[in-house]
A and B are shown apart, each in its own frame.
Chain A
Amino acid sequence: MSIKLGDLSYQQRIEKGIENDFMREAVSSAQGRFRNGRLTQAEELGDWEDWRQLGSEIRTHTLENIDYYLQQLSEQVSKRGGNVFFATTAEEANAYIEKVIKQKNGKKIVKSKSMVTEEIGLNQHLEKLGAEVVESDLGEWILQLDEDPPSHIVTPALHKNKEQIRKTFAEKRGYDQSDSPEELAAFAREQLRKDFLSADVGITGCNFAIAESGAITLVTNEGNARMVTALPETQITVMGMERIAPTWEDMEVLVSLLTRAAVGQKLTSYVTSYTGARLEGEIDGPDDYHLVIVDNGRSKILGTEFQSALHCIRCAACINVCPVYRHVGGHAYNSIYPGPIGAVLTPLLDGYDDHKELPYASSLCAACTEACPVKIPLHEQLIRHRQIIVEQEKKSPIMEKIMMKGFAQWASTPAAYKLSTKLARTALKPWTKDETIKNGPGPLKGWTDVRDFPAPAKQSFRAWWKERQKGEVRNGNS
């Protein structure tokens, strides 16, 4: 697997997503829970706008000086007994990791959830070598048993229900208990514990590297990442080159933003910062440590108008508020990075050719931008993508209209469209006549050519969401 998940067309993927009722409901309720959690935590923290501002300043400074901080990081890791490999491409990263594993004669590899290893297709690469690769994150493990791609950054198995999970466990691992989540999790604990203890190599991603001391910070709830970093004798961290903070103090701010925006928690159960190989006399932690820093198309984004897309801390808040994601689900994006950030990032990393529909998978309602804890102007970047696609590929507005068709389909109910926020309303003003929009910008143009849509309600997205939740709770009780 690479950044791309499969070969179905955009249209087919969308249809599949829309037809999957369970998935749509799961996505919708997950979005609600995540979003509510985030709002509560943001309110409790107070000064949420100041926090976002701070997060944005830290990310801006870091990316502007990324060469300096990566050098500092690599020197610190090296000082602490770790090896560092800078990989320009996915192939280079995979080849280096392969070399390390061969040297160690590694047969069993245990991993904790990592987007970047998905991006570079590491598992497939290692499996070809005949190594056994075990994903230890509960959601990822379920998907791995079932050979299914993830559909959400934070809860990758969102599209599966517990009965499906029970069946998978029964078929693949002889599980004979009920479909209660507790029993399912206890079974996974028992199964995976053996893997943690017997693995030769542990591989993790990285939430934030800390340049000043060479530490890698992982933010998790299940404890699997701690197992992966504490038990195997050889350990490899794979990080996208932008996932770095200058100091502990900056890491702290980013972690606070991440846990709140991602899952509405003050902190996750585990925030673990580990550095290099274990020290003399220590028992836990690797004897042999490697940090692989991956570019794989990221440097091309530096110095462009899209640089701030690299500020992303992978919290999925933009995904959780996105009305398009809500309707079509994660797989429709055909990228390991779904939702608004996926629509911005995927064409940047993998080119427009395979992903030119993605910038159109947005209603430009700006809910993503409003939700982003590091203030990435996501919807503006989507507009820029569209302009570039039209300019470069000389696609006339007619083409744009065709692309819009898939989009218009999901938005075939005015209710879906009413998701628009206050911001969208402002943006739409010039095109609003009475209560109906004629010829809107971007996808709205496509829409409005197909049919007339009611203008977005005057209510803000936040207010709308709260009301909507009340409605859902009532429904749930009845």
Chain B
Amino acid sequence: MAIHNQDAFLSNVAAHLGRPRRISGVKRPSWSVRPQDRVFAGYSKEELLAVLKKQCQAIHTDVVEVQQSELAEALTDTIKRYRGKTVVVANDKRNALYGLDQFYEQLNKEVDVHIWDAQLGKENQTIAERADIGISFSDITLAESATVTLFNDKHHGRSISLLPKSFIAIIPKSTIVPRLTQAAQQLHASVEKGERVPSCVSFVSGPSNSADIEMNLIVGVHGPIQATYIVVGDK
């Protein structure tokens, strides 16, 4: 696609910097300090999980830990707790892996379950807008900030974690890392390898909130009003 006015603009910038324009060959220096690598360095998955759970309290997010065999039950409980009548779910390969395909089929008898379907186009958005609950798997989970990282694509719309009133994230234990640093390293590495980065990477930490009215914390503004994380042991 088009780039307008680039040369004039950047030449002017270079002139102000008092040197010719730099078009190639710029290398990032190695920084004199790297405090980001030291945060929770050497923590086991269990220790990181403890960090995550503690942070969930700070961000008004419920967290439950289950074995794989208990996942369906935990989902049912949470959906009931949120009084969900309609649910929108990412069309994630892990649904099958964790036996959720059958679960959603079953659930569909009592609750309206929509699995994201690229073929349906914009209708997905309309359904997500009406849905009570959105459910996604976390791709990378950041312990420090209790954040789920979502690689949004055609099977996993951005709306799922955004439009419904409630959000449930399923967190495979193996996805837990210390902090944003590790997610950024992974994304940087994939750029270096020439891979295509998702069109949207969403780092989501609990429900939406605002402090814009007299500095009072209001949980639930434009995005979801409540959130639950279900941490599940790996296969």
**In chain B, what residue has the closest Cβ to A251?**
B184
A284 touches B35 (CB 8 A): no
- Chain B 182-209 interface mask (CB, 8 Å, partner A; 1/0): 0111011001000001111111111111
A81 touches B1 (CB 8 A): yes
**In chain A, what residue has the closest Cβ to B36?**
A253
A222 touches B144 (CB 8 A): no
- Chain B 1-33 interface mask (CB, 8 Å, partner A; 1/0): 111111011111110111001111010110111
- Chain A 61-77 interface mask (CB, 8 Å, partner B; 1/0): 10011111111001101
A222 touches B18 (CB 8 A): no
Which residues of B153-167 have CB atoms within 8 Å of chain A's CB atoms?
153-154, 157-159, 162
A208 to B121, CA, bound (A): 30
B222 touches A223 (CB 8 A): yes
Q: Which of A26-34, A398-406, A458-466 contacts B (4 or more CB under 8 A)?
A: A26-34
- Residue in A81, A96, A189, A285 whose CB lies within 8 Å of B221: A189
A181 to B224, CA, bound (A): 17
B222 touches A193 (CB 8 A): yes
B154 touches A269 (CB 8 A): no
Q: A275 — which chain B residues lie within 8 A by C-beta?
A: 197-200
Which of B10, B33, B159, B199 counts the most A-chain CB atoms under 10 A from its CB? B199
- Residue in A54, A278, A295 whose CB lies within 8 Å of B34: A54
A30 to B202, CA, bound (A): 29
**In chain A, what residue has the closest Cβ to B221?**
A222
A84 to B13, CA, bound (A): 17
A181 touches B26 (CB 8 A): no
Q: B233 — which chain A residues lie within 8 A by C-beta?
A: none
What interface size band does chain B fall in? 35 or more
Indicate whether B215 reaches chain A with its CB closer than 8 angstroms: yes
A285 touches B200 (CB 8 A): yes
Q: B64 — which chain A residues lie within 8 A by C-beta?
A: none
A281 touches B13 (CB 8 A): no
- Residue in A74, A246, A300 whose CB lies within 8 Å of B28: A246
Q: A33-B215, A249-B188 are in contact. Are A58 and B31 (CB under 8 A)?
A: yes
A458 to B214, CA, bound (A): 34
A51 touches B35 (CB 8 A): yes
B181 touches A252 (CB 8 A): yes
Q: Which of A3-11, A132-140, A362-370 contacts B (4 or more CB under 8 A)?
A: A132-140
A212 to B191, CA, bound (A): 7
Q: B235 — which chain A residues lie within 8 A by C-beta?
A: none
- Residue in B38, B129, B200 whose CB lies within 8 Å of A46: B38
B164 to chain A, nearest CB (A): 11
A268 to B142, CA, bound (A): 13
A302 to B21, CA, bound (A): 14
A284 to chain B, nearest CB (A): 4
B13 touches A302 (CB 8 A): yes
A78 to chain B, nearest CB (A): 5
- Residue in A138, A221, A284 whose CB lies within 8 Å of B158: A284
A61 to B30, CA, bound (A): 11
B31 touches A270 (CB 8 A): no
A192 to B213, CA, bound (A): 16
A300 touches B187 (CB 8 A): no
Indicate whether A274 reaches chain B with its CB closer than 8 angstroms: yes
Indicate whether B147 reaches chain A with its CB closer than 8 angstroms: yes
B39 touches A46 (CB 8 A): yes
- Residue in A224, A285, A302 whose CB lies within 8 Å of B17: A302
A interface residues (Cβ-Cβ under 8 A, vs B): 26, 29-30, 33, 45-47, 50-51, 53-54, 57-58, 61, 64-71, 74-75, 77-78, 80-88, 92, 96, 136-139, 142, 155-158, 161-162, 165, 181-182, 184-186, 188-189, 192-193, 196-197, 212-213, 215, 221-224, 226-227, 229-231, 241, 246-253, 255-256, 263, 265-285, 293, 295, 299-300, 302-303
* Supplied contacts A84-B4, A248-B188, A303-B18, 18 more A-B pairs, CB within 8 Å: A67-B14, A68-B26, A83-B1, A84-B1, A88-B5, A88-B9, A196-B222, A213-B197, A221-B210, A222-B210, A249-B188, A274-B199, A280-B154, A282-B118, A284-B158, A285-B152, A285-B158, A302-B17
Identify 21 residue pairs between A and B in the complex whose beta-carbon atoms are under 8 Å apart, listed by A's number.
Answer: A30-B215, A61-B28, A71-B6, A81-B1, A86-B4, A86-B8, A138-B213, A158-B215, A185-B218, A221-B221, A223-B221, A252-B184, A256-B180, A266-B146, A269-B223, A275-B199, A282-B154, A283-B116, A283-B122, A284-B159, A295-B13
Q: Closest 8 CB pairs between A and B?
A: A223-B223, A252-B184, A139-B212, A86-B9, A281-B154, A223-B208, A266-B145, A47-B35
